[in-house]
């Protein structure tokens, strides 16, 4: 049974790194894994993979899990094949997906996640388990071979959801972007998750975790709240 945690972000408001995440992480990993494989590919752009690992490792150790980054392994595919669980951090979604394709682990992750290997991802790490990365907020600083992603969750997620736009600035609001997404992709569904919120996908259902509600963006502009603590069928989106 699938066990996937899609977190909006590594921080909630002004809280510390992964500080809000302990219960959310346990929901997926507790009793299922002791050691986790970290994928730092979304970062390591203006800092190193070692630095990224050293930022994430203490939190996971405090939660009770050993963490090693995939960049220490010579064979990335073998590392994923042998992993008890995989943790994918945020950064740039295009860079993450491009590096995952370069490492040859996209299809392999699809197989292992469908077979029940636990997965924890935040921000870009949440985008890549969707069918495509076409609801990322990131800049396309590299061009991956395709925007199709791991696709083990059957709908799109928009992390770091925030309503409205800065006053006097004329870019689109997030709501406008997602309305355009749905207008041009009429058969798809989008769930937006504010910072601090996560979706815990278990089998064919998902539960909203965190202090705020998730938002189901529907065709035609309606937005339904999915209350925190509630569980919905993946097929309902």
Sole window of 65-73, 130-138, 210-218, 225-233 interacting with its own copies (rule: CB under 8 A): 130-138
User: Segment 147-166, which members bind its own copies (CB under 8 A)?
Assistant: 147, 160, 162, 166
The beta-strand segments (E) located in the chain are 3-7, 35-39, 66-69, 86-88, 119-122, 156-161, 190-194, 198-202, 205-209, 214-217, 223-226, 231-233
Residue 107 to residue 81: CA distance in whole angstroms: 11
Per this entry, what is the length of the chain? 237
From 180, 65, 40, 52, select the one nearest 118 (Cα to Cα). 65
Helix axes 93-103, 106-114, angle to 10 degrees: 90
From 99, 77, 203, 87, select the one nearest 144 (Cα to Cα). 99
Residue 75 among the catalytic residues:
no
> Is residue 126 part of the contact set for its own copies (CB under 8 A)?
no
Residue 138 among the catalytic residues:
yes
> Is residue 146 part of the contact set for its own copies (CB under 8 A)?
yes
Using CB under 8 A as the criterion, what x/- string covers residues 178-197 for binding its own copies? xxxx-xxx---------x--
User: Segment 32-71, which members bind its own copies (CB under 8 A)?
Assistant: 45-46
Residue 181 to residue 3: CA distance in whole angstroms: 27
The catalytically annotated residue of 8, 9, 69, 160 is: 160
- Out of 100, 133, 157, 191, which residue is the one contacting its own copies (CB under 8 A)? 133
The catalytically annotated residue of 69, 98, 138, 216 is: 138
Beta bridge partners of 109: none
List the structure tokens of 188.
């798809």
- Out of 85, 136, 206, 237, which residue is the one contacting its own copies (CB under 8 A)? 136
Residue 123 among the catalytic residues:
yes
Least distance in Å: CB of 195 to its own copies?
Answer: 6
Q: Which residues bind its own copies (CB under 8 A)?
A: 9-14, 45-46, 92, 95, 132-143, 146-147, 160, 162, 166, 168-172, 176-181, 183-185, 195
Q: Which residues are catalytic?
A: 123, 138, 160
């Amino acid at each position: 049974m699938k066990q996937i945690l899609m977190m909006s972000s590594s921080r909630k408001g002004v809280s510390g790194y992964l500080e809000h995440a302990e219960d959310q992480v346990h929901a997926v990993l507790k009793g299922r894994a002791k050691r986790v494989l970290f994928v730092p590919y979304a970062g390591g752009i203006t800092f190193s993979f070692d630095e990224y690992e050293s930022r994430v490792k203490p939190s996971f150790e405090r939660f009770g899990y050993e963490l090693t980054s995939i960049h220490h392994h010579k064979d990335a595919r073998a590392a994923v094949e042998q992993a008890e669980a995989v943790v994918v951090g945020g950064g740039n979604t295009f860079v993450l997906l491009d590096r995952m394709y370069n490492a040859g682990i996209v299809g392999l992750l699809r197989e292992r996640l469908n077979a029940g290997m636990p997965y924890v991802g935040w921000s870009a790490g949440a985008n890549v388990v969707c069918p495509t990365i076409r609801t990322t907020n990131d800049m396309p600083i590299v061009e991956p071979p395709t925007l199709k992603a791991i696709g083990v969750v059957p709908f799109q997620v928009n992390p770091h959801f925030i309503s409205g736009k800065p006053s006097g600035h004329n870019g689109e609001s997030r709501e406008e972007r997602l309305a355009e997404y749905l207008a041009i992709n009429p058969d798809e569904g989008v769930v937006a998750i504010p910072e601090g919120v996560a979706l815990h996908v278990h089998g064919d259902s998902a539960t909203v975790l965190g202090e705020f509600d998730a938002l189901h963006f529907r065709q035609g502009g309606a937005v339904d709240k999915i209350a925190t603590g509630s569980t919905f069928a993946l097929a309902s989106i």
